[in-house]
Structure formats: C-alpha cells, structure tokens
Structure 1
C-alpha cells in the first residue's frame, strides 16, 4: 500500500466519522492548517471549513457511508480516486465522485479537488 493510498483511506474515514470531536481531531491530523477543499458544491479553506462541509454531507446523507471505489492512482504528492456513497447496510451507491488530493510531502493534505460523477435527482 502506498502512502497516498493510506492517505486516501484516512480521508474517506474522516467523512465516515460520526463523532464530531473525533472528526475534528482527524481533520487536524490529516489536513494542513490552510488546506483547501473545492468541489461543485463547496469552496472552503482550513479545518473549520472542511469540517463544516463534511458535517453538512453527513447531515444530508444520514445512514450512508463513503467508500473508495477502485484503486488509488498516485504519483509524487498527488493521488486521484473515485469514491461512492452507499447505504450503511449495503446496497447500490447513490453518489459517485472523483477526488484529486495533493499533499505537502509529509503526508498531510493541502488540497482536495472534487468532482461529482453521479448524484441523486434533486440533490
């Protein structure tokens, strides 16, 4: 497992963390203080901004969990991977996304650039 595959796994685990305090600690551990997160629905910077985006997604999609979909493709300090949002009890995904993660070379994420490939109607 490459270091960036591990980073991608930790990143997805942050999105699945239900405890707000543990999630905040995981964000602090995984992201640089000035990290950015940009996708079609959000453009934020810093731990609080990233935490707010994740909390909003968790609120909107209660009972669902994020999973890496396929392999993580990485080079230098950049990784790209697809992810899916599936019912926690199993079933078909309702969202598929594609994220590019840039790290600072020491394993902390400094930027996430996300794309949505499949979204539910009305989302």
Structure 2
C-alpha cells in the first residue's frame, strides 16, 4: 500500500464478511457476497485447515451454519481496527438469543478493498 492510498473501511468489510458470508444461509447470496468482499483467489486459514478460493470458503461457511443449526449466528464483539492492509475483528457465536459458545478473532489482509487472506483465530475455551 502506498503512502497516498486510502485505508479501507476495515470495520465495514469485516462486519459484512461475518454477516453476508458466515451468517448467510442462502448459497447464492453468500456467493455474491464472496465475489464482492474477497479478492479473486483468497486463502482462509483455520486452525486445522487451509481453504483456497471463494467457492471453497463459501462451502465452509455453509457447512458451519448447517452443523450448528438454524439459530446459530456470528456477532461482532467490538469494532474492527486495522492499518496498512491488516484488519482484525473480534467476534462471538452461538444460538441467537442464547449463550455464546465460541469466541475468536478474524484477521484479514486487505488489498484494493477486498479480503486477500483471512485467518480465523479461535479463543481457547474458558477454564
């Protein structure tokens, strides 16, 4: 990123990723969001997996929602911050209106206003 290039809106981009990709149950809408929010050949790093490409990331998001049931949602746990192409957003997840079952942070490399690489960092369970 050059010194004159404007910083992306990290908070908007990472919140939209949570809502429009990881909370979206409709595969068509999720695919459209991936095309808008992600670079052409993104990579997502999960604790035990590396996922390459928009379609594969969409499949992972859909499988998570299916696995955890119809009320499961990801929610931002604060505002995203970032600079020089790196943004982070803390989040929490669980059933809508129910207890939080998992927390973590998304860290994203952003270029030209899109996610190039996404790291999903899970917090250790309490206790």
Alpha-carbon distance change, 69 to 54 in structure 1, aligned in 2, over 3 angstroms: same
User: Normalising by structure 1, what TM-score?
Assistant: 0.87
The answer to whether the 8 Å contact 1:31/1:47 transfers is yes
Runs of at least 5 residues in structure 2 that lack an aligned partner in the other structure = 1-7
Distance across 2 between alignment mates of 1:19 and 1:27: 12
Q: CA deviation at 1:4?
A: 0.7
Q: CA deviation at 1:118?
A: 4.2
Cα offsets for 1:56-87 (capped at 9, x unmatched) = 11111112100111221211211112111121
Q: Give the alignment's Cα RMSD to 1 decimal.
A: 1.6
Q: CA deviation at 1:119?
A: 5.3
Detail structure 1 runs of 4+ shifted over 3 Å in the superposition: none
Match of 1:93 in 2: 100
User: Normalising by structure 2, what TM-score?
Assistant: 0.85
Count of residues in correspondence between the two structures: 117
Out of 43, 46, 50, the residue aligned to residue 50 of structure 2 is 43
